[in-house]
Chains A and B, each alone.
Chain A
Amino acid sequence: MKALLIADHDNNHLSEQTAKALSAASQLGAVDVLIMGHDCTEVASQAACLSGVGRVLLAEHEALKHQLAEPCAEAILSIASEYQAIVSAASTTGKGVLPRIAAKLDVMQISEVIEILDEKTFKRPTYAGNAIQTVQSNDSIKVLTIRTANFATTENAPTSAEVVALDITLGQQRSVHISDKVSDSERPELQSAKVIVSGGRALGSQENFNATILPVADKLGAAVGASRAAVDSGFAPNDWQVGQTGKIVSPDLYVACGISGAIQHLAGMKDSKVIVAINNDEDAPIFQIADYRLEADLFEALPEITRLLS
């Protein structure tokens, strides 16, 4: 079986999610990686270094600069017939484009794969992770998005794979990119961070969130997460949201502060290696899955932790 892996990148850096999706795709067979973008040869060289990559296909085009779903789908479909599997991380880019591929190929996509049993059988979570389905696809081409939290990162290979430039012709575009408002933060990204410190509704305000959560995160070199309740209350931006409707993460250490542990939040972080919960409510459901639980007032415990780490 030959798999085509769609790379996630920002025209400069290859996302760590791609290295994780690669270890999933490699279980299916030989993997070519497709880089779609503009002025992104650097990304191609990064992808070429990953272990298990057959070829890196580089599709550069002005219309692919922002990796909008429509032109990306066109580019993928132009080479899809050479593959038996089209794979991507379940990033917002992957989730946007892959169903288009599936529809055009008339196959059913398998979303958010957490385990590959064999080349046509997969496990995926449904009902916010409360029910794990084992599904079999008999479609001629498998279209899969990968929940990268469940797969290890691929290491670098001793030698680089070949980079092949593709000549892509695209039709007239009816989606135009206007602007991006991307949070420019020095902190690691949620989905690749080793440590995440998350805050919930108990923080009470955006000021408290920033004053209490951020110093601990800075001390730990951690990414910052938030529960949906905290995001809905305006304490934290939406792209910090961890949960079924936000980001799915699996860091080495997840520190949940003032998060009660609604099902939808647990769905996003329960695969973390070590979970710490800090909450003053001893009945908080988060305590049932935490490795270490500290029943304490956040506004005392977190500054204390910050001080002790200094």
Chain B
Amino acid sequence: MSKFGKKQNEASPQINTSSLPDIIFILLFFFMMVVVMRTEEIQLEIKVPQATELQKLKKKHLVSYVYIGVPKAKLRAKWGNAPRIQLNDVFKSFTEIGPWVENERKKLPEKLRPYMTVSLRVDRDIKMGIVTDVKLELRKANALKINYSATKRSKFGE
């Protein structure tokens, strides 16, 4: 290595930029690790509520997401204005929640199955009726650890 280094110094008296790609690559890998690749496209308008007593969802692989909201503007012609449930990539009905939970649970190793969490990402303007129905389905499927997804808020009226 040192041999090559010497050679380079002789070749150019300027600042050595040969390690720049490495640095950028390290940055790149860092981002690739940190960032969550969300493969599913959310087809609903979801603005989660704000709250103060938040807990982080640490183990991402244990979390499954249920989205509830009104379809996005461009999809309304097809799907209408009523709130819908999205699991993974497609709109689903209540009855499909149970099998979906089973399926998600099967993806996890046996040991970790009791720790499975279902994160409810629900739009803030949705009425509780549909949320209650989803909660009932989750209880039927014995997925009891849930999380109401929210963003940070510091005080009232913000």
The answer to whether A and B come from one shared complex is no
Binding site for A on B (CB under 8 A): none
